[in-house]
Chain A
Amino acid sequence: MIRARRASLLGILAALAALALPAAAGAHPLGNFSINHLTQVSVSRDHIDVRYVLDQAEIPTFQERGRSEAAVLAAKRTEIQRRLTVTVDGRSVGLTVTGASLGHPPGQGGLALTRVELSLRAAVRAARRVAVHDGTFPGRVGWKAIVTRPGVGTDVRSSAPSSDPTGGLRHYPQDSLSSPRDERTATLGVRPGAGRLTAPNAPGDRVRTTDNRAGDGFAGVFADAASGHGVLVFLLLAALAWGAVHALSPGHGKTMVAAYLVGTRGTARHAVALGATVTVTHTIGVFALGLVTLALSQYVLPEQLYPWLNLASGLLVVLVGAGVLRGRLRRLRAHAHPHAHAHSHGHHGHDHGPEDLSWRGLLGMGASAGLIPCPSALVVLLAAVAQHQVALGLLMIVAFSLGLAGTLTALGLLVVLGGRMASRLRVPPAFGAALPAVSAVVIVAAGFVLTVHALPQLT
């Protein structure tokens, strides 16, 4: 059995891990000796800009005590200019310092830290392939990252991410499931263009912990936005369109919404109301899950919440379906005896049923369709938070939800209009009476399937 085999393998690994060597001679619980550095690169048409940020902890700072600030800065400049190399199309290029600053923010135990920011530039025309290697401070513990930024007049494809979760080495992610970044090299492919940057998601970013099941590109749309390029309107339209297309991928309650409208003989008004409910609940759902994820990211992963949301959604669908079915059956029973009359005044009962379409049921249906936030929407929100672009992220979620709801509403309208046409085509009364009930059964069955699927994930 896979599980048993895995357990025994784990047992061995854990046992090996626990065979630690005598603790007395082990590492000392002292953490203030890291040297952290971040290299930010952007390639433009006629130059390459490099911004190097250094954050040095208390102990290495203390080791430099007594030296003048100018001497310390000069030493750092030498180290950086010696060991930070930029290669353009195979040739190493020289970097000129265009700005330098040094500060000593306060650290622990009354000691100081060192913060150095160095701006460097290389005059390079029409670079095709740029390689950056940060060999500074070898062998030292710390956060080491290379980050790319879009340039002017170029299209850049970068091997290094464009995101920096540290906000320029000011705060470090404390996620217990990811390691500090340790990247010293990056390669960039450059073409003439309009300032586009294509960069991978950073490993260890919090956003990566969300499992993007749909495998869609919405998060990629956001990455472009965060890099400062593209118009806001275009972005929102893109989010809207993406939401609309996204609604067509499985698992967005389209069938349930359609079945509900058929089952309750809803009108166009109801279809729109349903769409609006989905938008609101989906937006709220993403925001709430995003907040929970951010607040509890130390303890809970979004993946753990999804099964519960699935369960809640499934149960809600079952309840709503059962309600519709009950109403249908009651109506059927009421019309049961005067079979012959069915045609004449049955028309009244079947055609519009706002009275049997309860708003409560409609809200419940909309809520259940929107309750499960799309993982890709959550990814976008968390990415926005990580990039300090919260407002943009929220706005895009709203647009995304609107697009989602638009598709569902359109589908609902189609069903409603189709129903009208069917009634005009004189659907036989027996079937006309049975169809809503069948729809209700479909809703209940769909709810059961959702619920049953949600259960094993809860273990």
Chain B
Amino acid sequence: MALARPNLFKLLAVAATFVAALGAFALITRSGDGAARSGPSISDGKLPRPGASTDERIRGFQAAVRAAPGDAALGAALAGAYLQKVRETGDPGYYARADVVLRRARSLAPRDYRVLAASGTLALARHDFAGGLGYGLAARRANPDADAPYPVIVDALVELGRYGAAARELQHFVDAKPALASYSRVSYFRELHGDLDGAAQAMALAVSAGGDTPENVAYVQTLLGTLEFDRGRLGPARQAFGLALVRFPGYVPAAAGVARVDAAEGRTGAAIRRYRDVVARLPLPEYVVALGETELAAGRPAEGGRDLGLVGAEERLLQANGVNTDVDLALFEANHGSATRGVALAQRAWSAAPSVRSADALGWALTAAGRPRDGLAWARRALALGSRDAVLNYHAGMTARAAGDGRAARRYLRVALAGNPRFSPLYGPRARRALEARS
């Protein structure tokens, strides 16, 4: 039977409806799939490869965090890359970035040990040692088996002057993970206790253990160079600084180390040129003071005074940013500025972080302010661990001398000059003169 016309239309219309319905589904499903593809799912390939440069890692993690904003571990990894960037360039703009990223990561995953450990590293870098310790301990509570919290805990304890606890944690750390990060801290710990040979040994182990980035290895090579310098071995010191510069060209701490060796070898002009270059790139108070003191020692008081004036400006900037506790600045004020102000800065530094370094700064500032008897008590505290650090012992010796304790003064000054008699172009000769005048 032939279909009547209306029936044909009927069938056609029904078929058309179904086709339309199918088409609608196809379209909707397609757009839905598209949305899902661009959603928060990232492939392994998008993450930076291990061994990538810091800039590559930053770019990779930035893209990964954008693609998966809810992944706190990615945030921690990005913050870690930012903190590494500061170590390489000194650009503190990356602190602010790391801070924002970590705040967000903490709100997403408040108990993720990676987020907490990275937060602790940032707090320590900003000299908030108590805050850093809190994050480090929280990270370990979150994951007692992880290594990441240990460097944070150890550094915080050392800076807070809690050396016994630091020793226990450090022992645990180096047993669990004998690598660059633990060896370098063992070295610093030995150095604090006056064992320079042991410190150099541990630092050499850190260098040969190798690191994650060229900068990490350059950093421990620089520290090894400093230990060689402190033991009076200028040749090996220069070599270590040079190797660090080869590994990480333009590395500022190593360039400053070379300048220091130049000054110790009596090549004052070369030292000043190098220091100028360092200060132009990264004007940390430590380097500015070294430049100014080298110029003063070279008999150029006008230039030295002018360069040291920069530290005063930096102090004002730090104050404007709410930082008021710096040990370096306290020592600068004691040596070149207002001793009263140095005492105030050092007292604040001591109450924020009662370490041997702040004890030394406070003692030296008190001596400069005309209170050597008070200063001597603090100098003894600074040397309580047995440090053979030249500057610490020089401060103690000059303080004891001013306090009228000649025997103690000679003892301290001999230690100051024992390792490297040219430890400072300005204070080395002063220590020698003081010692000779006494004997």
Contacts and interface: CB of A to CB of B under 8 A. Distances in A.
Contacts of A108: 317, 320-321
B35 A310 contact: yes
A26 B13 contact: no
Interface string B63-96: 0011101100110111111011111011111111
Given A21-B87, A59-B313, A13 B100 contact: no
B28 A5 contact: no
B35 A453 contact: yes
A109 B394 CA distance: 34
A58 B313 CA distance: 9
A266 B20 CA distance: 18
Nearest to A304: B69
A99 interface: no
Interface stretch (A84-92, A153-161, A422-430): A422-430
B118 A14 contact: yes
B35 A213 contact: yes
Given A28-B284, A298-B100, A457 B91 contact: no
Interface in A1-40: 2, 5-7, 9-34
A59 B323 contact: no
B348 interface: no
How many residues of A sit at the interface, in one of the four size bands?
35 or more
How many residues of B sit at the interface, in one of the four size bands?
35 or more
Contacts of B317: 30, 32, 58-59, 108-109, 111
A303 interface: yes
Majority SS at the chain A contact face: helix
Contacts of A431: 10, 13-14
B288 to A, nearest CB: 9
Contacts of A2: 43-44
B132 A23 contact: yes
Contacts of A21: 87, 181, 184, 216, 219-220
Interface string A102-128: 000000111100000000000000000
Interface string B13-50: 11001001101110111111111101110111001101
B115 to A, nearest CB: 8
Contacts of A28: 90, 92, 284-286, 328
Interface in B152-174: 152, 155-156, 158-159
Nearest to B37: A213
A180 interface: yes
Contacts of B184: 21-22
Contacts of B36: 453, 456-457
A30 B114 contact: no
A199 B86 CA distance: 31
Given A426-B6, A450-B32, A457 B40 contact: yes
B40 A179 contact: no
B283 A59 contact: yes
A17 B14 contact: no
A177 B65 contact: yes
B127 A29 contact: yes
Interface of A: 2, 5-7, 9-34, 58-60, 62-63, 65-66, 108-111, 139-141, 174, 176-180, 209, 211, 213, 250-251, 254-256, 258-259, 298-301, 303-304, 306-307, 310, 422, 425-428, 431, 435, 438, 442, 445-446, 449-450, 453-454, 456-457, 459
12 contacts: A9-B44, A10-B47, A13-B57, A17-B79, A23-B121, A23-B127, A31-B93, A108-B320, A304-B69, A431-B13, A453-B36, A454-B35
Given A16-B212, A456-B36, 5 more contacts: A18-B152, A21-B220, A23-B124, A23-B155, A30-B92
